Structure 1
Amino acid sequence: MSIENKVVVITGASSGIGAATAKLLASKGAKVVLGARREDRLQELSQTIGDNAVYQVTDVTDRAQVKALIDLAVSKFGRVDVLYNNAGTMPQGNLSDREYDKWQMMLNVNIMGVLNGIGEVLPIMQKQQDGLIITTDSVAGHVVYPASAVYNGTKYAVRAIMEGLRQEEKNHGIRSTIVSPGAVRTELVNTIGNTQIQAGISELMNADDSKGLALNPEDIANAVLFAIDQPKHVAISEVLVRPAQQEV
């Protein structure tokens, strides 16, 4: 699938991996449809990209808003070639902290947000008999570690959902890709509620590139581009991208 003139819907597009991916794909000729909650960031990003970008304020936990984002892509550009489910949250903490509201938020954003995107775009891609659905997962979907049980659980769930999607839709011309980053310098760190955990991860993120401890959003954007820029008979089922020195 050549990226030029492809219509790519991106959630979580206002910063970090989503914004970096939007800029990279647009620079290669894609038309990007940007969704996130922060309108000021979306407007700024859309203006930076230019005519090949449109945006819609989108909370992925609200199915009607996700539908509006997909509908915008179709009304503006006539189709959806790629959906990139990228929105996520990571309020780390121990199970003994009993942070029920944060647990529910993670389930809503990290799992239902992905399902809302899949559910709304599938009828369009089935009609097209063509499409690619990409979802940001995590190394945390492969390895469980302390103070991350619920986040790990959401990311393991995403892997299961995406594999089910692959099996169900492969005969309809629809491919699926999981992009699983390790440590990346993004604002996701700011969603960590436990201050001790946040401080430790922030220190890791602030290390310079030569130490190989954290990736930049552009590194993940390149992985997304790689998955998209494949011929139709090739499906990149998963890309696992770690900093060179990451242990887990």
Structure 2
Amino acid sequence: MALAFEGKVAAITGGASGIGLATGRALLEGGATVVLVDRDKAALDRLTAELGKNCLAQVTDLLDAESCDAMVPEILERTGRIDILHCNAGSYIGGDLSETNPATIDRMLNLNVNAVMKNVHAVIPHMTERGSGDILVTCSVAGHSAIPWEPVYSASKWAMTSFVQIMRRQMLPHGVRVGQVSPGPVASALLADWPEENLRKAKEAGALLDPSEVADAAIFALSRPRNVTIRDMVVLPSTFDI
């Protein structure tokens, strides 16, 4: 993969940790300029100092409408182009629907669904004008299966599966590829809300992915020849039974 992404600019939401950071590291190794997008300024400052001049920080709160709307224009003002937009930021709600509350539901749907749609909406004029680009969404196996202990989260990821498949068709005539990566459980802060018993069993069974393993799938999709689109890649721990 040496320098497979040289000259390209990639913007990754939720880029300060987990899958976003792992993908950012891999793209940097491939020669890209990477814009890590996150609301955690302190974490971004540490990472840009560690990762070097080709790693840029973009402080954005995707749950703040003005900050979210400003993200793509601010990146374009700094870099002049976005070749890859990886919509990776997300949150999780587990448990029965009766155990959560409307504010938490709003927050998760705004981050997992609305922010993705708004970020894609903002970048497609730029990519369409250039006739090239990649939009990659971090989805989930929960976007393909009705997971009984996560009705809100699964619903948000089913929405993303539909959105990606429709946008792939809309953007096909413009030379822009749209796809998603759908991992199973990943060892990250996102699982903090998992039912404790489910998390314990997954750890004991080795049924958790490392973020770098999901990043490998993202890099595979992004590095295909332009005549190949990876519409979706489901990545599971081999012992994960669902």
C-alpha contact 1:60 1:117 (8 A) present in aligned 2: no
Q: Distance in 2 between matches of 1:46 and 1:31?
A: 12
1:165-185 CA distance string (max 9 Å, x none): 011110001111110000110
The reply on whether 1:152 has 2:154 as its aligned counterpart is yes
Q: TM-score, normalised by structure 2?
A: 0.93
**Which residue matches 1:11?**
13
**Which residue matches 1:235?**
229
1:45-88 CA distance string (max 9 Å, x none): 11111110111111223343234332333223221100000000
C-alpha contact 2:48 2:57 (8 A) present in aligned 1: yes
**Which residue matches 2:174?**
172
Q: How far apart are residue 205 of structure 1 and its match? A: 5.6
Q: Secondary structure at the match of 1:162?
A: helix
Unpaired runs of 5+ residues, structure 1, are none
Pick from 218, 221, 226 the counterpart of residue 224 of structure 1.
218
**Which residue matches 1:213?**
207
**Which residue matches 1:32?**
34
Return the letter of the residue paired with 2:85: L
Higher relative contact order (CA 8 A, sep 6+): 1
Q: Distance in 1 between matches of 2:11 and 2:198?
A: 30
Q: How far apart are residue 231 of structure 1 and its match? A: 1.2
Q: Distance in 2 between matches of 1:224 and 1:12?
A: 15
**Which residue matches 2:126?**
124
C-alpha contact 2:141 2:234 (8 A) present in aligned 1: yes
CA RMSD of aligned residues (A): 1.7
C-alpha contact 2:4 2:30 (8 A) present in aligned 1: no
Q: Distance in 1 between matches of 2:72 and 2:33?
A: 13
Q: Distance in 1 between matches of 2:81 and 2:138?
A: 22
The reply on whether 1:203 has 2:200 as its aligned counterpart is yes
Q: Secondary structure at the match of 1:43?
A: helix
Q: Secondary structure at the match of 1:167?
A: helix
Q: Secondary structure at the match of 2:238?
A: coil
Return the letter of the residue paired with 2:72: I
